[in-house]
Structure formats: structure tokens, C-alpha cells
Amino acid sequence: MDVKPIGEVIRKTGRGRSERKFYKEFELDGARYCLEDSVLVTPEEKSQKPYVAIIKEIKEYKDGSIAVTGQWFYRPEEAERKGGGSWVADDTRELFYSFHRDEVPAESVMHKCVVHFIPSHKKSPPRSLHPGFIVRKVYDTVEKKLWNLTDKDYEDAKQKEIDLLVQKTHKALGGLQDAEVEEVETPSVAKVEAVTPGADGDVNAMLRQMNVLTGNIKRDRWLEKIMSSIKSFYMTTQQEGSEAAGEKDPQFTPEQAVSAVSSLETAAYEALDERKFNLKMRSLEYNLRNGPVLARRLLAKELQALTVVNMTPSELKDGMTAAEKSAQEPEQPQTVQMADVRCALCGEPQVGVKDIINAP
């Protein structure tokens, strides 16, 4: 195959044999490829489907070989779930975006392809008019989870990357139609009832009703997620009661839950920068969802919001600070050295020496 870089060198790294030259374009068998092109890549095994990637780097090694760094898409059958198995797609054309990057020889690039980034609330473009792959979700290769393109709680650089890809699709397709939402008929009385805090209704509506939404999309999204993580807990204690549940914990109202979560989010937002804020909120959501002790103590205000924000992962898991845990541990028995003397009071020979003080 005939492969060569095109244009000027945009940057260099290394010296001597380790020198690398980077370009914006390369040519393979007469076809040109640029940075940010979506391409199909020859798989490792013939039985596999072609890989799909976005070209992020084009580099030339000292020996003249050309390599490309691709940001990879995952086919649903390739995206492993944490509990085993793989994820299922909603569309036969669907791929999952990821932030995983890897380098391959430029010769492995097969040809360009089209990838449409479609938010969940928009319809997929008709295949006959706009052929190509569809992306609605992002695959976390570490946690083996899926996130929506519209989640809005990625790190800044990653969020900007996703937003640009969605905007690029919107510009190319000239807009997308809203997805149809099935309407369910309900009695007219239900339509005028206010949202009951703590019911199975809309968490966002409950937060809005209690006037704690900040107007910041990312922050409000985290408020919803944290509320959802403890929703089953405070509803269970409210509905069943402490006697029915066999617990002595107080009953928590939705108002208490909203107040606690709002204080927690505010404390984290004021104490951390944006990147650390997102990481901390993700950790808090996980630990509150899986740690009933932490959730109870937060709702009961046994733990202050800022204290929870500053807790380590192990402290969040235990639901208590290291100081509290240490105070609960039994004291270690002290070693007593036996002395060959008799007690002056009872005359018994069993006398122990706890400490020795040397006189000056």
C-alpha cells in the first residue's frame, strides 16, 4: 500500500530515533484522510466486523512509517457490562462513543464513514436519506457503563468534545425532529393535582416546587441524581414506618431529603473546582445509593454536608469518619509486667507493674 503524509509538519516530539512528526492529513492509495475524519479500520481477525474510529493524530516515525491514533467507537456486542454480558442497542446502526484511544498503522484504515451523534430526545434520521452509524450513548470503558450524550456531567474537555460532535451532526443534517413521546390518558383530576413530594413523580418537579434548583444545568442534574439515589430509602421509611421496617431510625420527609441534598450539593460546589465537583458528586451518588448508613446519617443531619464532602472513599463506604470509627473501637488491653513483690495491703504476691518512673 502507498501511504504518505500530506502538508506541513504541525509539531514534533522526541529527538533522534525517537523523533515523531505530526500532520493534519495523509494519503493512502490515492484517498486522503484528515484529522477528525470518521473511518473504518481493519479488525484483528477476519471474523470480526470493522472497527470504527475518529482520527485524532497522524504521526510519522523516523523510519518513515505512518500511524494514526484513533478514538474508538464500540459496537453493542463489544461493550461489556460490569455484571457480565454486553449492552443492547436500540438501533441496528447504533454505536457507542468512548474516550478510549489507541494507535494503529495507517495502512489499516479501510475508508471513511459517517457517524451521526443524536441526542436521546431527537429522532434518528431516515437511513435512506442519511445513511451511516448512529451514536446516542457514551461507553465508559473503565466502569463498563453507558451514559447519555445529553448527561451534561462529563469533565470539561470531554463535554466540549461531545457538544461539538452533536453540533456537527445538527449542522450536517439541518436539524432533527423531536422524538415522539407516548401520551397516557389520565383522569382530569390528576392533571391539576400538584406534584406530591416523595411520590413516584418527577424528581425535577419536586426540586422545582421546593425552589432549590440553581439554574445551572450541570448542578441541577446532580441534584436530580442524588435525590434519585436516596429516593427509595426515604420513601420506604416514610411509607412503612420504623416499626414496620423493624428499624429505630426516624422517619424522613421529602422536605428533609431535599434540604439535605441541596446543602450537600452547595457545599461540594463551593468547595471544589468543576472537575473535582463532578468526580465528587459521582462518588456521593454511588455511596448514597449503596450505603444506607451514610444516607440515614445525612438525612438525620448526624453528618454535616461539608463533612460528607470531605470524607474519603472508605469513610463514605462505612458511613462514618475515621475519627468516629476509631472512637467506637475497643481499647487494646495494656501489657502488665509481673513483679516479684507482695502487695502491701493484702499480702498477695500477684503484683503487676504498669509503668516505671525513674527518679532523678
Q: For a pLDDT cut of 90, what percent of the chain falls above it?
A: 35
Domain that holds residue 317: 195-325
Confidence band, pLDDT 50/70/90 cuts, at residue 202: low
Note whether 14 and 158 are same-domain residues: yes
Beta bridge partners of 41: 51, 109
Is 38 in the same domain as 140? yes
Mean pLDDT of 247-269: 80
Shared domain for 26 and 159, answered yes or no, is: yes
From CA 153, how far away is CA 156, in angstroms rounded?
A: 8
Top-confidence residue, 189 or 177: 177
Choice between 183 and 264, residue whose per-residue pLDDT is larger: 264
Who contacts 181 (Cβ-Cβ below 8 Å, separation ≥6)? none
Q: What is the pLDDT of residues 134-181, one digit of tens each?
A: 999 999 988 888 888 877 667 778 888 888 999 999 888 887 777 654
Pair (21, 155) in one structural domain? yes
pLDDT above 50: residue 243: no
Looking at every residue in the chain, the average pLDDT score rounds to: 81
CATH classification at residue 149: 2.30.30.490
Indicate whether 69 pLDDT > 90.
yes
Q: What is the pTM of this model?
A: 0.52
Residues 60 and 121 in one domain: yes
Residue 87 pLDDT level (bands cut at 50, 70, 90): confident
User: Which three three-digit cell numbers place residue 236?
Assistant: 420506604
- CA atoms of 289 and 304, how far apart (whole Å): 18
Tell whether 92 is covered by a domain: yes
Q: Is the domain of 150 the same as that of 199? A: no
126-130, 141-145, 272-276: least confidently modelled range: 272-276
pLDDT-wise least confident of 6-10, 24-28, 70-74, 249-253:
249-253
Query: Which residue matches cell numbers 423531536?
Result: 178
CA distance 229 to 224: 9
Better pLDDT: 202 or 267: 267
Q: Number of folded domains in the chain?
A: 2
Task: Measure the CA angle with vertex 203, ends 162 and 320; round to 5°.
Answer: 90
